[in-house]
Amino acid sequence: MASRILTATFAAVLGLTQSVTAFGDEIGPPEKPDLKLGFIKLTDMAPLAVAWENGYFMDEGLFVELEAQANWKVLLDRVITGELDGAHMLAGQPLGATIGYGTKANIITAFSMDLNGNGITVSDDVWDQMKPNIPTNADGKPQHPISASALKPVVEKQRNAGEPFKMGMVFPVSTHNYELRYWLAAGGLNPGYYAPQNGDTSGTLQADVQLSVTPPPQMPSTLEAGTIQGYCVGEPWNQQAVFKGIGVPVITDYEIWPNNPEKVFGVTEQWAEKYPNTHLHLLRALIRAAYWLDENNNANREAAVKMLARPNYVGADEEVIANSMTGTFEYEKGDVREVPDFNVFFRYFATYPYPSDAIWYLTQMRRWGQIPEQKPDSWYMDIARKVYRADIYEQAAKSLIADGTLPASAFPDFDKANFTRPHEGEFIDGVAFDPKQPNAYIDSFPIGLKGKETP
């Protein structure tokens, strides 16, 4: 597995560890300048690649090795053990670890890496069965967004034949798991429940559709082998199915929940407390990278595609990565549509770790049984503030404003309460999300645990 190590001369070190201003005080030089950061081979690791390639880490006096990880569990475990200083993470991973679902550890995030970026793909055979259930536009192409109700007859037919319908997602606390479950439930299909208190972490209790974990790069081959009949994953692995002629993306997460939070950059709380200056310098580099990715109406995306195509980053063909990274998305072969916000890295204040993001993930953990017991609304608020560290983000952002690197207009108004992420659109089922009333939100769904119910 290839990795890239940034080296520097002693003279460069002396020149690049100058302090920057924040809150009227100085951010001192990094306590730990040599870092190893992990990622999974997905296009939304782009801020890390850009920060390395454009020299933003170097500008902050950081000498960084970026290393691809085998899967999300290995990545999280290596952050916890200290083998990695931090990593590109699923937005639900710091939350799951903090509340003890899976490996218990205090993980925090002070940087949201992107919005949107996922899709749900089904096999060609399943698509052929779904198509008669989908309305068409005047040009004969399917109307979008496509509801899971179009999949329901296919699932029922297979169940009546005594065969379970199987789909893949990347990790139990992944956005992909919750988005796939949300889409299925909105179409009348129960994706099943977790019962960790009984030792059942399969998530398939009472399931109409059985969901299982598959690492992102393996999704297309697992679909082609027939082990699963569909999946939810980030790019470029939906577009890869189209290029290989084995599957059809039926919906993007932008269509399920416009401008939804996706990945974060995570570190242990202990690491952040031990190396506060390093953390701030790291955040400064990542914020600059995200800004570059969306700058001038995505003018730098073609250059980013070339970076990401390298084997040490994503390692897919440039054409496959560009299919979604440059503002389009291909559904059925030849059905290319404009989706300018499929990948958002900075606009809409994408990098700010809003507490509402954390609360949505926690509500879905409760809805599907990963949180087996009802919790008061205050519990959701407390966990969100503990894990999503907007205070640290603000310090890094204010330093970038103070030294003239980025304008104040690039960030939220820090004098106001930034609790709910702005610019989010309506969910596919029309259910309104109120992060200040998480229990009422959970109880509003026809499918899912409610009140004091346990799986």
Asked, for residue 173, whether it belongs to a domain, the answer is yes
Q: Give me the percent of the chain exceeding a pLDDT of 90.
A: 90
Q: What pLDDT does residue 2 have?
A: 40
**pLDDT for the residue 129:** 98
Is 107 in the same domain as 176? no
What is the chain's mean pLDDT, rounded? 93
- Residues 250, 347 within the same domain: no
Residue 174 shares a structural domain with residue 315: no
d(CA 101, CA 177): 15
- 22: pLDDT confidence band, cut at 50, 70 and 90? very low
Of the pLDDT bands very low, low, confident and very high (cuts 50, 70, 90), residue 15 is very low
167 and 209 in a common domain: yes
Could you tell me the pLDDT band of residue 447, with boundaries at 50, 70 and 90? very high
Q: Is residue 233 part of a domain?
A: yes
Domain termination site, one of 259, 287, 312: 259
- pLDDT of amino acid 236: 93
Task: Categorize the per-residue pLDDT at 415 as very low, low, confident or very high, splitting at 50, 70 and 90.
Answer: very high
Taking the C-alpha atoms of residue 165 and residue 187, their distance in angstroms, rounded to an integer, is 15
The pLDDT, as a whole number, for residue 408 is 97
Establish if 224 belongs to a structural domain: yes
**Domain of 240: which CATH number?**
3.40.190.10
In a domain, 420, yes or no: no
Determine what percent of the chain is predicted with pLDDT higher than 70: 95
Together in a domain, 211 and 296:
no
Which pLDDT belongs to residue 423?
84
Confidence check: pLDDT of 293 > 70 = yes
pLDDT of residue 198: 86
How much is the pLDDT for 76?
Answer: 97
Q: What is the pLDDT of residue 150?
A: 98
CA–CA separation, 69 vs 87, rounded Å? 10
Peptide bond into 435 cis (omega under 30): no
3-state SS of the chain? Answer: CCEEECCCCHHHHHHHCCCEEECCEEECCCCCCEEEEEECCCHHHHHHHHHHHCCHHHHCCCEEEEEECCCHHHHHHHHHHCCCCEEEEECCHHHHHHHCCCCCCCEEEEEECCEECEEEEEEHHHHHHHHHHCCECCCCCECCCCCHHHCHHHHHHHHHCCCCEEEEECCCCCHHHHHHHHHHHHCCCCCCEEEHHHCEEEEEECCCEEEEECCHHHHHHHHHCCCCCEEEEECCHHHHHHHHCCEEEEEEHHHHCCCCECEEEEEEHHHHHHCHHHHHHHHHHHHHHHHHHHHHHHCCHHHHHHHHCCCCCCCCCHHHHHHHHCCEEECCCCCEEECCCCEECCHHHCCCCCHHHHHHHHHHHHHCCCCCCCCCHHHHHHHHHHHECHHHHHHHHHHHHHCCCCCHHHCCCCCCCCCCCCCCCCCCCCCCCCCCCHHHHHHCCCCCCCCCCCC
Whether residue 21 is predicted with pLDDT greater than 50 in this model: the reply is: no
* pTM of this prediction exceeds 0.85: yes
Which region among 18-22, 70-74, 91-95, 266-270 has the lowest average model confidence (pLDDT)? Answer: 18-22
Same domain assignment for residues 180 and 81 = no
Are 320 and 370 members of one domain?
yes
Range of 369's domain? Answer: 3-116+261-327+342-410
Name the pLDDT band for 425 (thresholds 50, 70, 90).
confident
- 348 domain-assigned: yes
Asked if 327 contacts 301 with a C-beta cutoff of 8 angstroms, the reply is: yes
Look at residue 67 and tell me whether its pLDDT is greater than 80: yes
Domain boundary among the residues 212, 235, 259 is at: 259
| Co-location of 293 and 363 in the same domain | yes
Q: Which of 210, 237, 259 is the last residue of a domain?
A: 259
**pLDDT tens across 312-339, in order?**
999 999 999 998 999 899 999 999 999 9
Same domain, 34 and 143: no
Given a contact cutoff of 8 angstroms between Cβ atoms, the answer to whether 253 and 177 are in contact is: no
pLDDT for 108 equals 98
Residue 306, in any domain of the structure:
yes
Same domain, 266 and 252: no
- Over residues 363-386, the pLDDT tens digits come to 999 999 999 999 999 999 999 999
63-68 vs 34-39, strand pairing mode: parallel
In the predicted model, what is the mean pLDDT of residues 341-370? Answer: 97
The per-residue pLDDT for 13 is 37
Instruction: Indicate if 82 and 131 belong to the same structural domain.
Output: no
Question: Rounded CA gap, 294 and 281, in Å?
Answer: 21
User: Which pLDDT band, with edges at 50, 70 and 90, does 11 fall under?
Assistant: very low
Counted domains in the chain: 2
* Region 155-176 average pLDDT: 96
Q: How confident is the model at residue 26 (pLDDT cuts 50, 70, 90)?
A: confident
- Other beta carbons within 10 Å of 440: 10
Whether the per-residue pLDDT at 208 is higher than 90: the answer is: yes
- pLDDT for the residue numbered 424: 83
**Are 166 and 305 found together in one domain?**
no
- The answer to whether residue 429 is domain-embedded is no
In a domain, 103, yes or no: yes
